[in-house]
Structure 1
Amino acid sequence: MTWKKSVALLSMIIATSVSVAVPASAASAGQVVTRFSEADRAAALAYWTPERMKRLGEQEWLPPAETVGKLWDGALPAGVGRLFFHAEPGGYDESCSATVVPSATKDVVLTAGHCLNGGFDRWDNVIKHVDMVFVPGYGAGRHKVFAARAFAWSDTYKGPTSAADDDGVIALDPLGGEHVADVAGVQQVSFERPPSPVATTMLGYPVSQLARGEKLVSCERPATLNTDSVSTVWETNCDLAGGSSGGPWLRDFDPATGKGTIYGVTSRGTMDENGVTTDLSAALFSDAVRDLYASADSL
Structure 2
Amino acid sequence: MIFHDGTESRRAPRRRTSRTRLGLALAASGALLLAGGAAHAADPPTGPHHRAPGDGDWSDADALGFWTPGRIATATDPARPGGAPATGLPGPPAAVPGIPTAEHIPGLASVGVLFTTSGPDPTNGEMRAHKCSASVVESGGRNLVLTAGHCAGGRAVFVPQYSPEADLEDQPYEFYRVTDWYVDNKYVRNTKAAVSDLDYAFARLAPGPGGRNIQDVVGANKLVRTPGYAQDVTMVGYPRVGRNPEDLPVRCPARSGRLSGYRQMRVACAGMWGGVSGGPWFSDIDWDAGTGQIIGNVGGFHGGGPDVPESDPRYNQITYSPVYGDRFFRLYRDAQDNRRPHYGEYG
- Shared fold by TM > 0.5? yes
Q: Are 2:146 and 2:203, in contact at CA under 8 Å, matched by a contact in 1?
A: yes
Q: Does 1:46 align with 2:65?
A: yes
The number of residue pairs the alignment matches comes to 264
CA–CA distance in structure 2, aligned partners of residues 196 and 24 of structure 1: 34
Match of 2:331 in 1: 292
- Give the alignment partner of residue 35 of structure 1, picking from 52, 61, 73: 52
Q: How far is the alpha carbon of 1:257 from its aligned partner? A: 3.1
CA–CA distance in structure 2, aligned partners of residues 168 and 207 of structure 1: 20
Q: Does 1:180 align with 2:204?
A: no
**234-243 or 194-203: which moved more?**
194-203
Structure 1 counterpart of 2:328, one-letter code = V
Match of 1:205 in 2: 238
Match of 2:160 in 1: 136
3-state SS of the aligned residue for 1:174? Answer: coil
**Structure 1's 272 and 152: CA in aligned 2 closer, same or farther, altered over 3 A?**
same
Q: Does 1:153 align with 2:183?
A: yes
Structure 2 counterpart of 1:254, one-letter code = D
Deviations along 1:179-218, one digit per CA (max 9) or x if unpaired, are 0111121111012x32442111100000155633721111
In the TM superposition, 1:76-155 aligns within 5 A as: 76-87=107-118, 91=126, 93-94=128-129, 95-116=131-152, 129-139=153-163, 142=172, 144-155=174-185
- Give the alignment partner of residue 72 of structure 1, picking from 105, 112, 115: 105
**Structure 1's 47 and 40: CA in aligned 2 closer, same or farther, altered over 3 A?**
farther
Q: Are 2:259 and 2:320, in contact at CA under 8 Å, matched by a contact in 1?
A: no
Q: Are 1:201 and 1:249, in contact at CA under 8 Å, matched by a contact in 2?
A: yes
CA–CA distance in structure 2, aligned partners of residues 168 and 50 of structure 1: 29
CA–CA distance in structure 1, aligned partners of residues 117 and 105 of structure 2: 27
* Contiguous gaps of at least 5 residues in structure 2: 1-35, 78-85, 95-100, 165-170, 339-347
Q: How far is the alpha carbon of 1:158 from its aligned partner? A: 2.0
CA–CA distance in structure 1, aligned partners of residues 149 and 198 of structure 2: 7
CA–CA distance in structure 1, aligned partners of residues 256 and 245 of structure 2: 26
Q: Are 2:132 and 2:151, in contact at CA under 8 Å, matched by a contact in 1?
A: yes
CA–CA distance in structure 1, aligned partners of residues 198 and 39 of structure 2: 13
* Contiguous gaps of at least 5 residues in structure 1: 14-21, 26-31, 117-128
- Give the alignment partner of residue 291 of structure 2, picking from 252, 255, 259: 259
Structure 1 counterpart of 2:316, one-letter code = T
**Structure 1's 238 and 88: CA in aligned 2 closer, same or farther, altered over 3 A?**
farther
**Structure 1's 226 and 64: CA in aligned 2 closer, same or farther, altered over 3 A?**
same
Q: Are 1:45 and 1:147, in contact at CA under 8 Å, matched by a contact in 2?
A: no
CA–CA distance in structure 2, aligned partners of residues 57 and 212 of structure 1: 15
Structure 2 counterpart of 1:102, one-letter code = E
**172-181 or 272-281: which moved more?**
272-281
Q: Where has structure 1 moved over 6 Å in runs of 4 or more?
A: 57-60
Deviations along 1:207-244, one digit per CA (max 9) or x if unpaired, are 1556337211111111112340xx31100112310000
Deviations along 1:53-88, one digit per CA (max 9) or x if unpaired, are 576599974565346110014xx4341011111356
Q: How far is the alpha carbon of 1:111 from its aligned partner? A: 0.1
Structure 2 counterpart of 1:259, one-letter code = T
CA–CA distance in structure 1, aligned partners of residues 46 and 37 of structure 2: 30
Q: How far is the alpha carbon of 1:39 from its aligned partner? A: 4.3
Q: How far is the alpha carbon of 1:285 from its aligned partner? A: 1.7
Q: Are 1:23 and 1:37, in contact at CA under 8 Å, matched by a contact in 2?
A: no
Match of 2:249 in 1: 216
CA–CA distance in structure 2, aligned partners of residues 213 and 155 of structure 1: 37
RMSD: 3.2
Q: How far is the alpha carbon of 1:142 from its aligned partner? A: 1.6
**35-44 or 132-141: which moved more?**
35-44
Q: Are 2:143 and 2:215, in contact at CA under 8 Å, matched by a contact in 1?
A: yes
Q: Are 1:139 and 1:216, in contact at CA under 8 Å, matched by a contact in 2?
A: no
TM-score, length basis structure 2: 0.66
* Percent identity (aligned): 28
**137-146 or 45-54: which moved more?**
45-54
TM-score, length basis structure 1: 0.76
Higher relative helix content: 2
Higher relative strand content: 1
Match of 1:274 in 2: 311
**Structure 1's 36 and 274: CA in aligned 2 closer, same or farther, altered over 3 A?**
same
- Give the alignment partner of residue 283 of structure 1, picking from 322, 326, 336: 322
